[in-house]
């Protein structure tokens, strides 16, 4: 799976939780889930569960701590897919 | 040090909330037992979540910490309950914070402080746009300084602080908003 495909899948996963839709226009590695997309912090765990289902991986608590941007999520997914 | 969190109860909680996968990412087994054994598990879940959020903010401000998504690092315990008011303790990294929460039909509001007896000012509004203006009004009274001489600046961790033109002070506060509600919590600190 390419970086671009992963990023597109992340975008599709987060979209239902986004409260600031303009933030999706220039969606990239640096897009911050909370400050750019205004995803409610209580919904971040839903995003993580959807990521686990989509990629068939398990995101451990240490990885979850650092999942603040789309790029963070992409790197975590790539690492888990390699293992 | 202080942090606060408001939850609008009109916004539905995650449809995943009963699933162990969801609960295990947010709450310890002791917290899950307390939530699921309570009279209104959905309300208890949101109360515990607000405790973690409020304490996260207080802890981040206390140690000037970078952002993290680590709800499991905060262990909550309710120590007293009277009608709709709850007092609790939240522990993280050998540090304990005292919490005070209030639940109404419309919202849950929690405040966490490091010090047990600290003078706080907590206000809840039905409109997000007026929050900062109300905060300036409050500080203007507390610091006896004109509103126009006060400003907010964010530090490198993105934590907002209040400064005054004439007083050598930096005041730490916490803002929160969710759905229809917004809130601030401030603790007056010595300059």
Res A83: pLDDT: 79
Spatial distance between the Cα atoms of B47 and B26, rounded to a whole number of angstroms:
13
If one counts every other C-beta atom within 10 angstroms of the C-beta of residue A21, the result is 10
Helices A44-55/A70-82 angle, 10° precision: 30
- For B72, the closest chain A residue by CA position comes to A61
Collect all residues of chain A within an 8 Å Cβ-Cβ radius of residue B25.
45, 48-49, 61, 64
Structure tokens that stand for B166 in this block? 């004439």
Structure tokens that stand for B76 in this block? 């909550």
Q: Check if CATH label 3.40.50.300 holds for domain A3-82.
A: no
Beta-bridge mates of residue B3: B112
Structure tokens that stand for B17 in this block? 């909330």
- For A58, the closest chain B residue by CA position comes to B21
Sheet of strand B95-103: strand arrangement: B2-8, B107-113, B95-103, B85-92, B75-82
Mutate to test the interface with B, among A35, A38, A45 (most CBs of B within 10 A): A45
Yes or no, beta carbons of A45 and B26 under 8 Å apart: yes
Confidence at B128, pLDDT banded by 50, 70, 90: confident
Ordered by start, the domain boundaries in chain B are: 2-187
- Residue holding tokens 């490198």? B156
User: Could you say which of B14, B53, B72 has the minimum Cβ distance to residue A46?
Assistant: B14
Helices B41-63/B29-36 angle, 10° precision: 140
ipTM of the complex: 0.91
Res B190: pLDDT: 57
Does the pLDDT value for residue A64 go beyond 90?
yes
Interface membership of B68 toward A (CB under 8 Å):
yes
Ordered by start, the domain boundaries in chain A are: 3-82
Backbone angles phi, psi at B160, to 5 degrees: -75, 145
Structure tokens that stand for B95 in this block? 């540090």
Spatial distance between the Cα atoms of B148 and A69, rounded to a whole number of angstroms:
36
Structure tokens that stand for A10 in this block? 């992340």
Interface membership of B16 toward A (CB under 8 Å):
yes
Would the pTM of this model clear 0.90, i.e. be above it? yes
User: Could you say which of A41, A48, A66 has the minimum Cβ distance to residue B25?
Assistant: A48
CATH T-level topology, domain B2-187: Ribosomal Protein L22; Chain A (3.90.470)
Confidence at B191, pLDDT banded by 50, 70, 90: very low
């Amino acid at each position: 799976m390419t970086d671009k495909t992963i990023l597109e899948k992340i975008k599709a996963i987060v979209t239902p939780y986004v409260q600031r839709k303009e933030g999706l226009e220039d969606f990239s590695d640096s897009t911050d889930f909370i400050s750019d997309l205004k995803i409610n912090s209580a919904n971040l765990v839903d995003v993580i569960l959807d990521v686990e289902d989509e990629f068939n991986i398990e995101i451990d608590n240490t990885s979850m701590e650092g999942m603040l941007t789309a790029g963070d999520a992409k790197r975590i997914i790539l690492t888990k897919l390699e293992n | 040090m202080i942090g606060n969190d408001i939850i609008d109860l009109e916004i539905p909680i995650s449809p995943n909330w009963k699933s162990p996968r969801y609960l295990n990412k947010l709450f310890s087994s002791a917290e899950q037992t307390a939530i699921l054994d309570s009279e209104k598990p959905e309300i208890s879940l949101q109360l515990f979540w607000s405790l973690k959020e409020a304490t996260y903010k207080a802890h981040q401000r206390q140690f000037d910490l970078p952002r993290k998504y680590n709800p499991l690092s905060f262990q909550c315990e309710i120590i007293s309950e009277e009608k709709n008011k709850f007092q609790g303790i939240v522990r993280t990294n050998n540090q304990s914070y005292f919490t005070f929460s209030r639940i109404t039909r419309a919202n849950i509001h929690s405040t966490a402080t490091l010090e047990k007896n600290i003078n706080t000012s907590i206000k809840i509004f039905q409109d997000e746009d007026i929050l900062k203006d109300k905060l300036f009004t409050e500080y203007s009274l507390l610091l006896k300084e004109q509103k126009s001489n006060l400003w907010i600046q964010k530090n490198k961790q993105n934590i907002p602080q209040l400064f005054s033109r004439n007083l050598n002070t930096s005041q730490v506060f916490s803002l929160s908003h969710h759905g229809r509600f917004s809130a601030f919590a401030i603790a007056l600190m010595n300059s």
